[in-house]
């Protein structure tokens, strides 16, 4: 791709990092990308990596004990944050208290005894098992 093409298109389209409706009524993002056309798998993978990194940073900033967890339990916490957001995750008081105390069985039980578990089903059951065992499924 010629850099001049990119330069001109960037200039004329402008960058919008939030979705907006273009003059022709199409939902658009970025440099005029029509969201009705979807995104490529590569773009989706890039966004997923960015979103998981943002969730990891949010959890790491919020919970000073996060870095003491093993990689599997760090993943569980990050995935929960990715799924529900840090504000909602922070409302899981009993879960977080158990996790901070390294009571992984208790933390897993608290995960399963939540409205969230009913909403996400299998995901919650698998994450709870990983929390309890410290092993990826």
Which DSSP symbol is given to 103? -
Q: Predicted confidence band at 79 (pLDDT cuts at 50, 70, 90)?
A: very high
What pLDDT score does 1 carry? 83
What range defines the domain where residue 70 resides? 41-133
Kindly report the average pLDDT of the chain as a whole number: 96
Q: How many domains does the chain have?
A: 2
Domain of 106, CATH number, reads 1.10.530.40
Closest CA to 103 of 75, 73, 125, 127: 73
What pLDDT score does 96 carry? 98
- Provide the token pair at 19: 């979705």
Q: What are phi and psi of 58, to 5 degrees?
A: -65, -45
Tens-digit pLDDT profile for residues 22-73: 989 999 999 999 999 999 999 999 999 999 999 999 999 999 999 999 999 9
Q: Domain check: are 60 and 18 in the same one?
A: no
């Amino acid at each position: 791709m010629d850099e001049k093409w990119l330069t001109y298109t960037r200039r004329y389209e402008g960058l919008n990092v939030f979705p907006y409706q273009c003059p022709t009524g199409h939902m658009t993002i970025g440099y005029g990308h029509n969201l009705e056309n979807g995104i490529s798998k590569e773009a989706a993978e890039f966004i997923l990596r960015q979103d998981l990194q943002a969730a990891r940073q949010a959890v790491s900033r919020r919970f000073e004990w996060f870095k003491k967890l093993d990689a599997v339990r760090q993943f569980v916490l990050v995935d929960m944050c990715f799924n529900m957001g840090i504000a909602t995750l922070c409302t899981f008081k009993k879960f977080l208290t158990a996790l901070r105390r390294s009571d992984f069985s208790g933390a897993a039980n608290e995960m399963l005894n939540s409205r969230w578990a009913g909403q996400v089903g299998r995901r919650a059951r698998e994450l709870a098992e990983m929390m309890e065992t410290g092993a990826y499924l």
